[in-house]
Amino acid sequence: EAGVAQSPRYKIIEKRQSVAFWCNPISGHATLYWYQQILGQGPKLLIQFQNNGVVDDSQLPKDRFSAERLKGVDSTLKIQPAKLEDSAVYLCASSSLAGGWGDTQYFGPGTRLTVL
Amino acid sequence: GNSVTQMEGPVTLSEEAFLTINCTYTATGYPSLFWYVQYPGEGLQLLLKATKADDKGSNKGFEATYRKETTSFHLEKGSVQVSDSAVYFCALSDRSSNTGKLIFGQGTTLQVKP
């Protein structure tokens, strides 16, 4: 079974530029998560999708971040405009069930973003 | 609110030493508890989990027991190997939110020397 795919693996941009990350979850997984991991910290949830609907986006900085999951499969996370503090690893995860409290989440390799 | 606290790292051990990484949590509901591991250059992988009090999760020689009375989920291994060198994250998912959202600790780096 193929794992969670993410691209690109690395991205370097200047502040105020825009950037987009792509995620393809494990086939058949209904729930998709985007986490932000700042160096030296644990991942923090940005947004959770159930199929193509948003379940939780309470910690997504909506003035600059946006995400979509068209057709309930692939997802894109966008930052526009980027700030220095957005430098982090962006992790995508998926789970097979309803995204409940006991489900196992499977993580992709992440995209490392550096904002100069 | 919900939170997870892990012991500070890095933890440096010799091969075959006993490992303990402490993890305590605060939760408003009744959480599931997880240990994830991140090997160098790789993504997070689930190591083990427990979904109710007194459950013991185990995998690859690692164990952790869900202790509700002490709100802890300490990770242990009897004999570590160089290949166990990685960053270990304790996390919880709160049943009351029913979203599956994981709340992570800050991570503990383990270095095992031959």
Closest CA to A34 of B102, B94, B6: B102
pLDDT one-digit tens code per residue, B16-41: 999 999 999 999 878 999 999 999 88
Question: Residue A1's pLDDT band (boundaries 50, 70, 90)?
Answer: low
Q: Does A57 touch chain B (CB under 8 A)?
A: no
Say if residues B100 and A109 touch (Cβ distance below 8 Å): no
CB contact under 8 A, B31 and A44: no
Tell me the chain B residues in contact with residue A33 when contact means C-beta distances shorter than 8 Å. Answer: 100-102
Distance from CA of A62 to the nearest CA of B (A): 19
Q: Does A20 touch chain B (CB under 8 A)?
A: no
Question: In terms of CA atoms, which chain B residue is nearest residue A100?
Answer: B100
pLDDT one-digit tens code per residue, A67-84: 999 888 999 999 999 999
CB contact under 8 A, A101 and B31: yes
CA distances from B44 to A83, A94, A104, B99, B110 (A): 26, 12, 12, 19, 15
Average pLDDT, chain B: 93
